[in-house]
Structure 1
Amino acid sequence: MEHAIQLSYGQAFVATDKRHHRSSMAVQVPVDDTLVSQGACALIADSTSKNAIARQAGDLSIRGFLADYYSTPEHWDVKTAATRVLRALNGWCFSQSRFVKGGGYVSSLSALVLKERQAHLFHAGDTLVFRLRGAEFEQISRDHVTDIGGYLYPSRALGMDASVDIDYLTLPLKQGDIFLFTTQAVRGTLLPSDYVSEIRRHAHSLDEACRYLAKAAAERASERGYDGHSFCFQMVRVDQLPEERVEAPNLHYGKLPIPPELNEGDRFEGFEVLEGLSPRGKARVYRVRDIDSGQHLIMKTPSPELALKDTYLKHFMLQQWVAERINSPFIVKSVAQKRPRRYLYYLMENVEGERLSTWLERHPNATLAQRLDIAQQLCKAVHALNRKNVLHQRICPSNIMLDQHDQVILIDFGTCHFLEQDSQETARELVREVGLTPHSAPEYALDGNISRRSDQYSLASVIYWMIAGHLPYGEGVLAVKSEADLEAMTYTPLSKPGSVLPPVLDETLERALMPKKPLRFRRLSELVYGLKLTRQAMHGPVKDDSLDVEPASLGDPARRWKWLTGLLIIALIASFWL
């Protein structure tokens, strides 16, 4: 592939007792543009436990790293992506140890990412990584070991503690560099000269070189009385490096230029522009037709005015990542480009439907059950984003579409924000640049911390608006200028005398719409559960289409349901008596 690093690799494994082998290794070299954007990976892991289940820690860590690393946003740098993945793996391994008796999910791990003209090494534990450059053979990993009674044990590894300190090292690459991966069990068997001579002797085949090294190490160990060890070797060689290039200021990830302004009727990249949907703002949105297939799609391109701002372009790539990686029927889907791209843009499906506000205007007599069905679908869309640590930050009727089958499709990722990646200021700035909506959470107006509960507030506000036809706090966040304004916000109950809406709905929405973020539900599932209880309590469609309901009780919901149960039992007994 043009502009991509070219590698070759080999592996070999020899175990004196295959039942007790604890080592794993892997190399992944993508064959598409991912090789340019995220590089190739080579890993080795070595579990510390003899427990048959806990020995899987190394293999699962390698599989998990490869799956998760290549699922991170492509605009993240290697250090950010790999570190986040390793910390998540460490937490998972640590949590699994409590379910294992006589061992733990603990594993040493060395991960090397080779991207463009640099190598990035991430290391925790006692696995070994060497570099051979010419006649120079050196260890580039650091042993994290503790000597106890003459035996060396890992002092740092994945799953050993709730947090892990990961060594990070960057190295410039040269053509012909060879990286050798092996385990601590090989210590004391082969000398540096043995490695160099065997690798040079079998330079035509790295698999053969690894086999000879493993065989020589096993024989040397047997001569010295070592038993029960497994020896694995893995080598990666840099065959060709991409050319060094200086990026122009208006180019970004993938070396793709910003598209020009497009007008109706223009032909661009094999598409015909049918309509410009967003002629201003931070991005350009067009409805286009694929000239080859006739398919109608939505094309989104960066704004030419902001092409020199790298921060903006990185966020544009985050939008593309969200569209491509969030797999939910309630989130607008990305469409794969069939032809090579020469410009920076991405494609989404063209949702045949209407916005939520338009749907409600056409269905003024929609039942409460129909509105709650829309609400539950919207909850699933928000949950799909939050599960990937993404906040939508602009949940409002104009960004909610209903297709021809009344299925909810959440659109517009222009203000999406990654939790724990971008700063709080960045998140608020994204929202303010586009503009607050009446459904925005109060913390956006008061420089408060942003979290999943911020999306929860917007979601609950839209649900309330769907049912009541107005906002729960009048002008909402648009009227909040100070803490005093926050304190003065008073929830307007949905309920009115003589209506039949279950009180649990009012209680659920009031909790999710608390002006102070810590008082809202801890998890979105609690809001979903409240909606479920509402539907269970309805016993069929609501006859009162005005949706005016009786006042919600401010008492303890559990106590109220106990009283109701008691009254039903008394009524049942009375019916038998009569």
Structure 2
Amino acid sequence: MPLIVSTGHHSLAGVRPRNEDFVGMVTPNEPELSSKGLIAAIADGVSGNEGGREASEYAVRGLLTDYYATPDTWEITTSLEKVLVAINSWVQQQGTVRRELAGMASTLTALVLRGRMYYTAHVGDTRCYLLRDDGFGKLQKLTQDHVWDRPEMQHVLTRAIGMDTRLAVDHGMGEVRQNDVFLLASDGVWAALSEYDICDTLKQVSQHSLTPELASQTLCQAALAAGSQDNCSAIVLQVTSLPEGDLRDALSELRSLPAPPKLKPGQMIDGYLVEEILHTSMTTLLYLVNDSVQHRKLVLKTLHPDRANDAHERSAFAHEAWLAKRVVARFFPQVITPEQRNFLYYLSTWHAGDSLQNRLLAGQHFTVPDVITYGSKLVRAIGALHRRSIVHRDIKPDNVHLGEDGEIRILDLGVAQSGLDAQDQNLSASFNMAGTPSFLAPEQFQGAKATAQSDIYATGVTLYYLLTRHYPYGEIEPFQRPKFGDAVVPSRYRPDLPIWLENVLLKAVAREPQERFETAEEFLLALERGAARPLPAPNATPLVNSDPATLWRAIAVGAIVLNLLLLYVLIVR
């Protein structure tokens, strides 16, 4: 589903002899809609003469034209900044070249909607508002006016395009939700109307009782009726459809946020109370937090402060948060979007229970029926990942959670990869072999990329370990380059293991990828059929295939021994 936005605009001169406001927008088709997004802008000329109108029109037209000429590889904020700085230089130059345009300047507020994110660029006292239909219908002002804060100078600008040789642009960004309503308004509208009146009109758009076009007309006419002495202009945009989350936008949003300091129980972050530190690693921190508004416990994951300035770690963390949000299923903690986010973190649902590894360390014994039941759920979860083109790359008991509700949930997408990672070339290029050595498939030690088959292998090792507390090929230490022969049959450690389940596990952990289950669904089918339709036992690997070097060494030694015997016989004769 593409991004679909309903738009409307209106502009009136009002009591002024001429209209110095200028509004415009571009709603492109693909591929520009996905790469650059939709842009709308409003400007208010501030010179009081012909130059005001020229400045506002040039600022809007120049931005709408030049923004789409910037490289797709630039961040949205970078593109807006560079274009507006160039426009500022042009406006300044015109004021010096043409005497009648001396002092020309303009405010400007721009809004870009791309993917599931919005971006604002703002100079002056035009404004951008957001009304979100979240049950409260609260009106948010997304921009801050650049005016003197003294009562007698409330309408004296401190910043505008053309006012100074150096332009300072305010940038903002946030997540877009379906049915969001945005308003760009000149001061002739917002100064004459109360926030209640503006909110009421935008609510009617949200409730589909008023179109964006009629809403923009209503706001301008209401401002004049309320006694506005200025030009009145408004642009109203309603988001009616959103595309699937875009990796670039997720990276852009989270890269710009500061990492929070290390928190202690009892401290607050964005309205969430920290109750407990769940886990600490070299790169990330996990907290159990309490959402007092919704009365629920959540898990907050963030970067360790020591890694806060590491560009790669920030990208990897943003990538993890983006993947976690895409896997909407009962097999995964669900990502929760906060009302406001001022720091680098993401929230997910909390579930009572513990990881399989912690249960093993606590002495829990997993029976054959337990492993069949939980194994089937785990394989279903793996299938759900693969259907979304995601390879987990670190399936192990530590990353599999068994809830008190009996549900299996997969944790930690920190090293996961998806088919869409090419959207961030630096990120995809930086991923090397990742995971826990004892759960890595044999081909990965030869430099092969992680695939669905390597996840299936790790799942098989996980189930094997639950039953036996051993690894099929022995424990592998970091930086070790092991040689793989035949897997040790699990019945060596668990004589009570049915032969059909042993064959299923041996197929899952086969040394060669083509000998494993092709898909998670095939793995699941074998577990569900069980003894009714057992798999055949795997054939022993010939020595020439499993370890050809050893075989040829043995042949060479045998040949030397045979030649020595023959030489001895000849000498004795």
TM-score under structure 2 normalisation? 0.49
